[in-house]
Amino acid sequence: MHELSIAMSIVEMAEEESARRDHAKIHAIHLRLGLLSGVVKEALLSSYEMACASTPLEGSQLIIEEVPVEVFCPACRARVPVPSIQWMACPQCDTPTPEIVQGKELEVIAMEIETPEPNAQHSDTSRSSAPETNQ
Ligand SMILES: [Zn+2]
């Protein structure tokens, strides 16, 4: 499964990053996902959950920012968003264009990593009243 192997490589990368920072806890990973990347967002999200299971990332969140598709229109000489990925044409002048400038992204842009502050009294671990939602 395509998405699962992607999710696993994201988890692997995050684990390495965590290890480099003295095994800091990773809360969330932000990912930019182009609509032409060939990756299904929902499938990637559920694969991520699977890939995280019994790793230090278990319980972390994958936050996906979808990137719309933009093409370069030779007639308008401009970057324009395409209204549908089935129809690669300029919405202004209808010129079909194969020149995709954006929309194939699949990249981790940020990770929310806990930075241990020995002097600060953070108490966000004391959520004893919250029910455990992990299954
Ligand atoms: Zn145009």
* pLDDT tens sequence across 53-99: 999 999 999 999 999 999 999 999 999 999 887 888 999 999 999 89
pLDDT over 50 at 126, yes or no:
no
- Identify which has the larger pLDDT, 135 or 33: 33
Give the separation between CA 92 and CA 2, rounded to whole angstroms.
35
Give the separation between CA 63 and CA 102, rounded to whole angstroms.
19
Confidence of residue 124 (pLDDT cuts 50, 70, 90): low
For residue 3, what are its two tokens?
């998405």
CA of 130 to the centre of ligand 1 (A): 53
CA of 4 to the centre of ligand 1 (A): 38
- Amino acid type, 70: E
In a domain, 125, yes or no: no
Sign of CA dihedral 50, 54, 59, 60: negative
CA of 89 to the centre of ligand 1 (A): 8
Lowest mean pLDDT among 30-34, 63-67, 124-128: 124-128
CA of 88 to the centre of ligand 1 (A): 11
Confidence of residue 127 (pLDDT cuts 50, 70, 90): very low
CA of 69 to the centre of ligand 1 (A): 15
For residue 115, what are its two tokens?
């930075």
CA of 87 to the centre of ligand 1 (A): 13
* CATH number of the domain within which 56 lies: 3.30.2320.50
pLDDT in the model for residue 132: 54
Q: SS3 letters for 63-114?
A: EEEEECCEEEECCCCEEEECCECCECECCCCCCECCCEEECCCEEEEEEEEC
pLDDT in the model for residue 1: 55
**Residue span of the structural domain in which 37 resides:** 2-68+102-113
In a domain, 74, yes or no: no
CA of 77 to the centre of ligand 1 (A): 7
In a domain, 78, yes or no: no
Q: Are strands 106-113 and 100-102 parallel, antiparallel or unpaired?
A: unpaired
CA of 100 to the centre of ligand 1 (A): 13
Looking at the 3D structure of the chain, how many domains does it have?
1
pTM for this predicted structure: 0.76
